[in-house]
């Protein structure tokens, strides 16, 4: 048996990894403004449950490899836990802890009845055949059965997973129970109980919050703004597409292969076609090629980091030219990067608000599954727009009340809701 156990997670709370350090730092900043008993705040710093599994999978070569997976439930005060499953070769338990905590704040901020969770498998999905990807997904789903259900924890896609992975996940759970349970995951194909608009939802929500921010800042000629998007996965590509549909000018985009820039605006439909055909942006020629680092500091008005964590740091925040940063990714800005943007007066729409469109439509999908009644796309997008704008307005109200930046305001709003729910429910036993 070949063992490839990737236990490079740091269990010691004293040395959290970068994403977890960021999540805890953001919490500390915001919690200082929240009127809650100190012991309730202390409780909120910890994940409620953490589940680690190591499971064997037969590779196409016939060899058995052991893979590691995680599922973390951060908090359940507002309802069952909700959050995606990430497949990545460098993912750690600490990173999943951070992402689960952000899901708690995200759901609370946009007022959907969920707590936060996240899951991951330590694997690079690009190194797997389709049948290996299916075997890993089915085995991971079956390993999670003790801690998931439509009423306790509902996974969804995240980086490295998609609607096909969710279909296998749902089928594995359903086969085990003996009947179909569409409400066990969201982000499924529409035929299997997925929702209209779920695929586009996160990117669309990013652009809705960008527009609300432009209005809030009083930008008159909004359509003259130059937009740069880092990341061309599910979030970045749909954000670019929706921005293009609304007549905005996207001047720069990138993916793992690098970036492309055109001052007068890129041909987004052509880029989407190129990526669908070739698998990445590489060899797209209509524009100037540049690196991901160069892309972040391009001359532009709006920067949308929609790739990975830890992209805006003390090393590049000083050089960022955008006046508005809209976080499509989870945790793209480190505490040091955040402080520099704040000092420079750059407005930042935080991840838990800007990218909440995905989990909002996941919530609609779950509601549709539980009721066995599906909505049309117009209804989904109308409700998405309504909830995003409401959360945006709530965030600005709380930020103005406390005279703080939007990240701190959004976190104050979320922590207050979760904390109040804990206090109202009381303590068991
Ligand atoms: N993975 C997405 C996020 O980070 C969506 C989670 C969900 O839909 O449950 O928000």
Domain edges within the chain? 31-196, 199-354
The tens digit of pLDDT for each residue in 174-214 reads 999 999 999 999 999 999 999 999 999 999 999 999 999 99
Q: From CA 183, how far away is CA 108, in angstroms rounded?
A: 20
- What's the gap in Å between 358 CA and the centre of ligand 1? 6
**Res 12: pLDDT:** 42
**Res 4: pLDDT:** 43
- What's the gap in Å between 214 CA and the centre of ligand 1? 25
Query: Average pLDDT in the 396-401 region?
Result: 98
Percent of the chain past pLDDT 70, that is, above it, reads 97
Give, for ligand 1, the residue of 154, 356, 362, 366 to mutate: max count of ligand atoms closer than 8 Å to Cβ: 362
- What's the gap in Å between 88 CA and the centre of ligand 1? 16
Query: Average pLDDT in the 77-89 region?
Result: 98
Q: Give whole-number Cα distances, 69 to 80, 93, 157, 179, in Å.
A: 20, 9, 15, 26
Q: Give whole-number Cα distances, 171 to 25, 292, 369, in Å.
A: 39, 38, 15
Which ligand 1 atom is nearest residue 330's CA? 4
Cβ of 246: how many Cβ atoms within 10 Å? 13
Which ligand 1 atom is nearest residue 359's CA? 8
Which ligand 1 atom is nearest residue 361's CA? 8
The tens digit of pLDDT for each residue in 148-160 reads 999 999 999 999 9
Instruction: Indicate the DSSP class of residue 85.
Output: E
Which ligand 1 atom is nearest residue 158's CA? 1
The tens digit of pLDDT for each residue in 34-70 reads 999 999 999 999 999 999 999 999 999 999 999 999 9
Give, for ligand 1, the residue of 72, 102, 116, 157 to mutate: max count of ligand atoms closer than 8 Å to Cβ: 157
Distance of CA 245 to the CA centre of its chain: 23
**Res 385: pLDDT:** 98
- What's the gap in Å between 157 CA and the centre of ligand 1? 7
C-alpha count within 13 angstroms, C-beta hemisphere, residue 412: 22
Apex CA 184: angle with CA 179 and CA 187, to 5°?
120
Which ligand 1 atom is nearest residue 157's CA? 1
Confidence category of residue 348, pLDDT binned at 50, 70, 90: very high
Of residues 258, 265, 196, the one with CA closest to residue 226: 265
3-state secondary structure of 72: strand
C-alpha count within 13 angstroms, C-beta hemisphere, residue 7: 7
- What's the gap in Å between 60 CA and the centre of ligand 1? 31
Query: Which residue's CA is minimally distant from atom 8 of ligand 1?
Result: 359
Of residues 199, 116, 158, the one with CA closest to residue 377: 199
Q: Give whole-number Cα distances, 42 to 31, 88, 334, 411, in Å.
A: 10, 30, 22, 15
The tens digit of pLDDT for each residue in 90-148 reads 999 999 999 999 999 999 999 999 999 999 999 999 999 999 999 999 999 999 999 99
CATH level 2 (architecture), domain 31-196: 3-Layer(aba) Sandwich (3.40)
Which residues are tagged catalytic? Answer: 118
Residue 82's beta-bridge partner residues? Answer: 116, 154
**Res 16: pLDDT:** 78
Give, for ligand 1, the residue of 184, 328, 358 to mutate: max count of ligand atoms closer than 8 Å to Cβ: 358
Query: Average pLDDT in the 316-342 region?
Result: 98
Mean pLDDT of the chain: 96
CB-based pocket (< 6 A), ligand 1: 82-84, 156, 158, 186, 330, 355, 358-359, 362
> Is the pLDDT score of 327 beyond 70?
yes
**Res 1: pLDDT:** 44
Percent of the chain past pLDDT 90, that is, above it, reads 96
Question: Whole-model pTM?
Answer: 0.96
Q: Please provide the distance, in angstroms rounded to a whole number, between the alpha carbons at the two ends of the chain.
A: 46
Confidence category of residue 13, pLDDT binned at 50, 70, 90: very low
Give, for ligand 1, the residue of 83, 153, 201 to mutate: max count of ligand atoms closer than 8 Å to Cβ: 83
Apex CA 271: angle with CA 270 and CA 275, to 5°?
120
**Res 3: pLDDT:** 44
Burial of 225 (0-12, 13-18, 19+ CB in 10 A): buried
- What's the gap in Å between 391 CA and the centre of ligand 1? 16
Residue 149's beta-bridge partner residues? Answer: 153
Give just the sign of the alpha carbon dihedral 29, 33, 34, 38: positive
- What's the gap in Å between 293 CA and the centre of ligand 1? 26
Query: Is CATH 3.30.420.480 the classification given to domain 199-354?
Result: no
Per DSSP bridges, beta strands 249-255 and 226-230 are parallel
**Res 345: pLDDT:** 97
Confidence category of residue 89, pLDDT binned at 50, 70, 90: very high
Query: Which residue's CA is minimally distant from atom 10 of ligand 1?
Result: 359
Q: At what angle do helices 406-425 and 93-109 cross, to 10 degrees?
A: 80
């Amino acid at each position: 048996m070949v063992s490839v156990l990737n236990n490079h997670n740091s269990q010691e709370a004293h040395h959290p990894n970068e994403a977890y350090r960021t999540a805890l730092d953001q919490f500390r900043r915001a919690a200082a403004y929240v009127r809650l008993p100190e012991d309730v705040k202390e409780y909120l710093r910890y994940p409620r449950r953490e589940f680690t599994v190591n499971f064997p999978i037969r590779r196409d070569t016939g060899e058995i490899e052991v893979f590691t997976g995680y599922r973390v439930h951060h908090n359940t005060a507002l309802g069952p836990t909700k959050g995606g499953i990430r497949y990545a070769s460098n993912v750690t338990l600490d990173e999943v802890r951070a992402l689960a905590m952000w899901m708690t704040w995200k759901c609370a901020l946009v007022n959907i009845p969920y707590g936060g969770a996240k899951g991951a498998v330590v694997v690079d999905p690009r190194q797997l055949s389709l049948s290996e990807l299916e075997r890993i997904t089915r085995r991971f789903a079956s390993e999670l059965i003790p801690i998931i259900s439509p009423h306790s924890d509902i996974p969804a896609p995240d980086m490295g997973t998609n609607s096909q992975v969710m279909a296998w996940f749902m089928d594995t759970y359903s086969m085990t129970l003996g009947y179909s349970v569409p409400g066990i995951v969201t982000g499924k194909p529409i035929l299997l109980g997925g929702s209209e608009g779920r695929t586009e939802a996160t990117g669309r929500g990013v652009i809705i919050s960008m527009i609300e921010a432009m209005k809030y800042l009083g930008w008159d000629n909004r359509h003259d703004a130059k937009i740069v998007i880092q990341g061309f996965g599910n979030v970045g590509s749909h954000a670019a597409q929706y921005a293009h549909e609304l007549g905005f000018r996207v001047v720069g985009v990138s993916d793992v292969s690098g970036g492309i820039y055109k001052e007068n605006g890129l041909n987004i439909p052509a880029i989407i076609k190129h990526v669908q055909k070739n698998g990445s942006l590489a060899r797209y020629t209509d524009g100037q090629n540049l690196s991901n680092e160069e892309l972040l500091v391009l001359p532009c008005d709006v920067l949308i980091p929609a790739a990975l964590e830890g992209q805006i740091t003390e090393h590049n925040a000083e050089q960022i030219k955008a006046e508005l940063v809209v976080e499509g990714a989870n945790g793209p800005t480190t505490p040091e990067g955040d402080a520099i943007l704040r000092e420079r007066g750059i407005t930042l729409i935080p991840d838990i608000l800007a990218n909440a469109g995905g989990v909002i439509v996941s919530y609609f999908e779950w509601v549709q599954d539980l009721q066995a009644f599906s909505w049309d796309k117009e209804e989904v997008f109308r409700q998405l727009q309504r909830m995003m704008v409401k959360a945006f307005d709530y965030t600005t109200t709380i930020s103005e009340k406390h005279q703080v930046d939007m990240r701190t305001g959004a976190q104050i709003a979320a922590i207050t809701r979760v904390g109040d729910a804990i206090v109202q429910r009381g303590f068991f036993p």
